Amino acid sequence: MASQTETTNPESDRPVILLVEDEALTIMDLGDVLEEGGYDTVQCASAERALSILQARPDICGLVTDVQLSGRVDGFELATSVAQARPNLPILIVSGRASPDPERMPAGAQFIARPCAGEDILARLKGLMPQC
Residue 84 located in a structural domain: yes
Residue 11 located in a structural domain: no
Whichever domain contains 44, its CATH number is 3.40.50.2300
Residue 62 located in a structural domain: yes
Q: How many structural domains is the chain composed of?
A: 1
Domain encompassing residue 61: 16-128
Residue 47 located in a structural domain: yes
Residue 7 located in a structural domain: no
Distance CA 37, CA 113 (A): 20
What value does the mean pLDDT of the chain take?
86
Is the predicted pLDDT of residue 37 greater than 80, yes or no? yes
Whole-number Cα distances in Å, 5 to 2, 45, 81, 87, 103: 9, 9, 22, 26, 32
Structure confidence by residue, pLDDT tens digits, 49-80: 999 999 999 999 999 999 999 889 999 999 99
Distance CA 42, CA 1 (A): 17
What type of residue is 87? P
